[in-house]
Structure 1
Amino acid sequence: MPDTRRIALVGAGRMGSALAEGWLRGKRGLDPARLLVVAPSLSDPGQALVSKHGLKRVEALGPRMAKEVGLVVLAFKPQHFEKAAPALAEVLPEDCAIVSILAGTGIRHMQEVFGDRPIIRAMPNTPTSIGKGITVAIANEAGEARKAEAERLLKVGGPVEWIEDERLMGAVTAVSGSGPAYVFLLAEALAGAGVGEGLPRPLAEKLARETIIGAAALMEKTGQDPQTLRRAVTSPGGTTQAAIDVMMAGGGLPEMMRRAINAAERQSRKLGSGTGR
């Protein structure tokens, strides 16, 4: 039987607010009366969320209101965990599920604070805000019903993939969590190169942006892997081949990306070393 108790969104920054907008969207969306925003202060996205849907917001979760909560979504900055989490653990019902999108905060450490409560750790990315993201999640012994409930909330931002080895979360963070920034950098560099060849900047930026959007849409529509699509557009001896040869020289782009992902993965583990034990 689905849990119909309240959902508490603790922290309402960009990502938490984006997820909540998805929960509330449409006729079959979450009843706004079931969503409680817990935040001592509100960012612009959080304020817009509360005002638009008439949500109840409290600065902290007290014992009386906590009894009504069946699931909590932790969406504040990871460095606030040590202060915020113990206070929540004191007042939440023993069967309350915890869904965390805090980078670097591991399940083991969350269990030290929240005990035997069901815990789901998730890593969404920024395209989640427009329903085009992807989320990777892992759970403790939460049970299938709780995992399904968490997936229903997370998939408003896009597909949800589950893993069983939490050590992979560093690589997930490096690839999909940070990945949108790599694409934005590619667009920036592509436009800059166009300007260097004489294109007006507005045109170069539009060409770079629309080319990346179109290429991504082509991958999605055809379902073909990137290597196949790349080869299809790369004629031997043509202009694309000339550019690809430069990008692949001496290991080129693939090797640079490998080193970049490795650096991001190591930094993820470093950031989580105090809380992701």
Structure 2
Amino acid sequence: MGYTLCILGCGTMGVAILSGVLASLDAKPASPHPKWESHTSGTVTPQVLEDDALPSRFIACKLAGAFFSAGTLGRSVEIFQGRNVAAVREADVVLLCCKPQLAQTILAEPGMQDAFDGKLLLSILAGVTIAQLRAMVLPSTRVARTMPNTASKIREGMTVEKHFDACTALSGSGPAFACIFLEAMADGGVMMGLPRAEALELAAQTLQGAARMTLAGTHPAVLKDAVTTPGGCTIAGLLAMEDGRVRSTIARAIQVATERASELGQPGKK
């Protein structure tokens, strides 16, 4: 028997994380797993568990209109529709995945503070600080904060634990920005005669290949220069993109999203 994991506010991100966790457990045998302890600085440090290390029971608290069922996740997941306090009471670790504006409402439900007594609250909420979360629960509740993204669903996510607002924009919102670029590339292919399905596949694989080479240690500028021959088609396309201020527009999108992330969850902000 392992511990019980509750996804509180199981919408898009909750489903993505839970799907990734389940896929990870199915892909490899159980092994020692870190237990997270929260400290006054707001950082978390792994401590080796002396006993059960992996989650073995999963509870999902659905939001109104949530689009999944337990069966779609591939293993037994208990769904507590509208029973947040009961779900937290049953859990050892609670992953808070609701909208930032709903945190106060959910954590202020009658009986919720007692339900969190002695448990770990792990928040993925943009703009809601650890200090704010601690003010909503009992001192005995351990609180940590992290920022994942939707690629967690396929175990390709990026999760950070500091510089939250900038990382929310770059990593959390980033998949949406990347998809705009991917879709635009595919549109260009369609315009030049490629079937839509093939254009999407080519664009996706092209971006994935470039991303993997970057992760392997090659700077994007080096990759760009390697395929930019004098008088060729690549430099012609690059100049067209520079005419459209693509780079500054993308960078500004990260700036604006960061500023918005810092506002979410703050009093008076929606």
The answer to whether the Cα contact below 8 Å between 1:10 and 1:73 also exists between their aligned partners in 2 is yes
Give matches, 1:18-33, under 5 Å: 18-24=16-22, 25-26=25-26, 27-28=29-30, 30=54, 32=56
2:246 to 238, 247, 253: 253
Give the Cα separation in 2 of the matches to 1:40 and 1:134. 24
Give the Cα separation in 2 of the matches to 1:89 and 1:98. 12
2:257 to 239, 261, 264: 264
Give the Cα separation in 1 of the matches to 2:15 and 2:204. 26
Q: SS at 1:36's partner residue?
A: strand
Deviates more, 1:231-240 or 1:121-130: 231-240
Q: Which runs of 5+ in 1 are unaligned?
A: 138-162
1:70 to 89, 92, 95: 92
Aligned to 2:36: none
Give matches, 1:16-165, under 5 Å: 16-24=14-22, 25-26=25-26, 27-28=29-30, 30=54, 32=56, 34-39=57-62, 43-48=66-71, 52-58=74-80, 59-62=82-85, 66=89, 69-87=91-109, 89-116=112-139, 117-137=141-161, 163=162
2:232 to 212, 217, 238: 238
Give the Å deviation of 1:46. 4.5
Give the Å deviation of 1:274. 2.3
TM-score (norm 1): 0.74
- 1:212 corresponds to 2:207: yes
Query: Taking structure 1 as reference, are residues 93 and 267 closer, same or farther at Cα in structure 2, changes over 3 Å only?
Result: closer
Q: Which runs of 5+ in 2 are unaligned?
A: 32-53
Aligned to 2:9: 11
Q: SS at 1:204's partner residue?
A: helix
The answer to whether the Cα contact below 8 Å between 1:17 and 1:49 also exists between their aligned partners in 2 is no
Give the Cα separation in 1 of the matches to 2:9 and 2:87. 20
Give the Cα separation in 1 of the matches to 2:55 and 2:119. 19
Identity %: 31
CA offset digits 1:1-46 (Å, max 9, x no partner):
xx954332212223222322333322428453x3333346673334
Give the Å deviation of 1:86. 1.9
Structure with greater helix percent: 1
Aligned to 2:47: none
- Higher RCO (C-alpha under 8 Å, 6+ residues apart): 2
1:225 to 219, 224, 227: 219
CA offset digits 1:85-111 (Å, max 9, x no partner):
123642225321110112222212111
